[in-house]
Structure 1
């Protein structure tokens, strides 16, 4: 189960940058003082048994507001795994694993061995972006209030559940303003991209070598737009289209999750499925389970597995084919009244640790998403979007972050919705045909917008291609990052 959780948390949901004003001249970045990593969180939520001597942690001070460089500062938490082949070291390779809201410090600490072919010649580096975890992470209430918020039912979709959702969102937004009001206006992707350029300079690299996944592709695209001449070798895996509206994003992602869910059921039936003997039977059984949970949750210790948490658990496991067998087990057990496994998957998605505390995963996500867009959907748009999404998928159809953004306490900006890396070196975009969270249609669109990018298509399932197990994708990406080899146009990798 720990291995499953590590896979799920690797693939954080992606959504949509903000700038308060034209940035002023900023003093050169300070030196990063590297030391031991003492507060890494393992996939099971427990602290590491001992410090890993190969990992180094540090902090970089940056302006809270780049329009006021001499004003308040915040510290960006960073982690580094030094290259093992010093003689052939290329430089640093900076990672963002997704979100927005995922901790790069914890994720790289857990996953560094997954990048073994790159770790010889690169210092592997990641960070908690502003507003995330150790970097002035956004908080919205205590653990009990987060439990209430994450367990809200979404089905049946009627006036009662809609009213309850609106009430919960208003309270959540109010708590975010109360607990994190100072940081909220400054957590946008444009500022985070400026932070990355200061990291590059502090690391001593003339250009930024970067591997961004999911939301990390937006962050990389914005960086390449702001600093095209500073772009080294950049890979954007599971890309977003920054131009999509809230409504478009909701409907495309709902369709993506529904497609992945149907693929899961087909694969399950093919192998002999505990959920049902056919796709139709399996789907009916899951629908029945959700209906039952909306009326009577399953007790899991002192908690309730609600329909809302169960749906979250199902969605979490659809991010990777590796978790599909565990999803089958979790759902079949829940059908028998045992909710531990499905609750486990839900907690992996919401960032709830075994001690009942939460990471900033669920709070950083809306904070960054809402500041990254000037859109504030009105009630008619929300209702229309919800209705259309539910037609696509009763299980996953929801207006999502749009409901929160419509009442968010700070304004947003559309600055990063128009990326253009003209003047940069070649960028590699990798899109997956079976990606539920960042559907494939966004990959060619981002490639076109960047102007300097080459698209690689992966035909397999799951969110993100580089860590999917495809040797073809790995070979192309490693060849580019290590040798600078740009693949031919329209390169395709089978699953």
Structure 2
């Protein structure tokens, strides 16, 4: 998920790039000699920790398959083997097919950054049953996430206050309060997690994945990356092109833009999704309960947000639905067409003075469960983004960009523009303006773009193909709605991906599914 809307784009992150030769000289012997020979001890998975979102231990899959968990040791600092190690939490379910047909492990990253693979893979695994016929399905908590040296910044009460505040300040007093809250949040991260903050960059996570490949016993890394996971996978391909196996990048982060360009693209993406929602709602024969025409729907939402800026309404007791929480809730509902019904219900309630549904959607975006406990999704998101991205913006920078952001999205523009300040006063310097994902020598990588994707706009897929280099990226277009393509259940997309991952058949470049 960016700092403000959870799913990261290149707008709000940029990966650190360190030449493989330099890294190999610093840490290669240590890893090859000690860590790459470690034996993983797989056991039944415990219930997810609070930092991973809480809940119950994952049950067996409907068609059989028991979840197993373990911890892999990795260097804290890949540049300095004497810095000690951290644990990287892994989860897997073994292949359902005959051993003779097994290809290896298929490693998933579901995005964020900050999302726990330990909780995400069991939740989404039924969608990948076909792939499990030839792969062990594997995921992990990247460094800084969940049980993998998870970053901590503030307690639950402090996070409640943080997410309730006005994140689109209109006055000098609101601006001062907003800037102070960022300063205090970032200070809390340094005080609670200062040891790991310099080492949560995407390049470090990519090196962890190559170590993971070795200890899993795979000659090549077979990989399925979604959203931010596409950037992680592409950085891996840049660092280890000869170690790439079959790789899919779905809901693609644009690796070429600076943070402002990426945030502008995302503002346009969410505005497009809102436009599509409004048209869909008003096209129904039963009528749209939140507006007569698409323009009416959007105008009423804009008025709601303006009213909430002045006077919040009751949400989930004792909290009230603020303008910020409502904006978050609307954004969460636009991630999938399956959520549009919840958005309609939430808007109907909010117009009647009840903010519970929109607040529940906002809580989901921020990693808050119904017991009031937060996962470390947002702290990890901010830590990884700020370690990766080099630019540090000022209030003057934001104000200069506000007209462009408002033109891109009257509803989300201000919110995303002010979000550029998330890394102000961060205790660790950022590494790069954008990641280097050039991967000469890598085999074909399937790159999937969704024309209606709000969080990682469609244009990013083509730019990723170009950045990977000639003969590497193979573009597939899905004319759909929502964030991602494979999980849309579109048969054309799933057939293309399955044939590639299971049988090695690369689809023709430029394939279009609708």
Partner of 1:48: 56
Rounded Cα–Cα distance in structure 1 between residues aligned with 2:256 and 2:477 = 21
Partner of 1:478: 498
Matched, 1:27 2:31: yes
Matched, 1:145 2:185: no
Partner of 2:69: 57
User: How far did 1:201 drift?
Assistant: 0.5
* Cα deviation code 1:129-172 (max 9, x no counterpart): 00011111111111111111111224564444333321211111
Match runs of 1:76-87 below 5 Å: 76-87=88-99
CA change 1:386–1:181 in 2 (3 A) is: farther
* Cα deviation code 1:442-494 (max 9, x no counterpart): 11111011021100011111111111121111111111000111111211111
- After superposing the two structures, state which structure 1 stretch, 410-419 or 328-337, moved more: 410-419
Partner of 1:5: none
Partner of 1:18: 16
Rounded Cα–Cα distance in structure 2 between residues aligned with 1:234 and 1:181 = 34
Matched, 1:311 2:327: yes
Matched, 1:99 2:112: yes
Partner of 1:178: 191
CA change 1:40–1:447 in 2 (3 A) is: same
Unaligned runs of 5+ in 2: none
* Cα deviation code 1:377-412 (max 9, x no counterpart): 234322222332123223211225420223211111
Matched, 1:328 2:348: no
- Which of 420, 425, 428 aligns to 2:443? It is 425
- Which of 377, 386, 394 aligns to 2:410? It is 394
SS of the residue aligned with 2:89? strand
Task: Let me know the Cα RMSD of the aligned residues.
Answer: 2.0
SS of the residue aligned with 2:488? coil
Contact preservation (8 Å) 1:155, 1:291:
no
Matched, 1:373 2:389: yes
Rounded Cα–Cα distance in structure 2 between residues aligned with 1:156 and 1:72 = 43
- Which of 108, 125, 134 aligns to 2:138? It is 125
Match runs of 1:352-363 below 5 Å: 352-363=368-379
Rounded Cα–Cα distance in structure 1 between residues aligned with 2:375 and 2:305 = 27
Match runs of 1:295-306 below 5 Å: 295-299=310-314, 300-306=316-322
TM-score (structure 2 length as normaliser): 0.90
Partner of 2:147: 134
Matched, 1:412 2:420: no
Rounded Cα–Cα distance in structure 1 between residues aligned with 2:125 and 2:18 = 35
Contact preservation (8 Å) 1:320, 1:463:
yes
User: How far did 1:41 drift?
Assistant: 6.8
- Which of 302, 306, 310 aligns to 1:287? It is 302
SS of the residue aligned with 2:479? strand
How many residues align? The count is 484
Contact preservation (8 Å) 2:167, 2:418:
no
Rounded Cα–Cα distance in structure 2 between residues aligned with 1:113 and 1:344 = 25
Rounded Cα–Cα distance in structure 1 between residues aligned with 2:172 and 2:385 = 26
SS of the residue aligned with 1:85? coil
Rounded Cα–Cα distance in structure 2 between residues aligned with 1:348 and 1:101 = 14
Partner of 1:264: 277
Partner of 1:491: 511
- After superposing the two structures, state which structure 1 stretch, 459-468 or 19-28, moved more: 19-28
TM-score (structure 1 length as normaliser): 0.94
SS of the residue aligned with 1:369? helix
- After superposing the two structures, state which structure 1 stretch, 371-380 or 301-310, moved more: 371-380
Unaligned runs of 5+ in 1: 1-10
- After superposing the two structures, state which structure 1 stretch, 230-239 or 302-311, moved more: 302-311
Contact preservation (8 Å) 2:17, 2:435:
no
Partner of 2:45: 37
CA change 1:323–1:440 in 2 (3 A) is: same
Contact preservation (8 Å) 1:19, 1:188:
no
User: How far did 1:27 drift?
Assistant: 2.6
Rounded Cα–Cα distance in structure 2 between residues aligned with 1:338 and 1:49 = 34
SS of the residue aligned with 1:417? coil
SS of the residue aligned with 2:289? coil
Partner of 1:237: 250
Matched, 1:225 2:215: no
User: How far did 1:50 drift?
Assistant: 7.0
Contact preservation (8 Å) 1:79, 1:125:
yes
Rounded Cα–Cα distance in structure 2 between residues aligned with 1:158 and 1:249 = 26
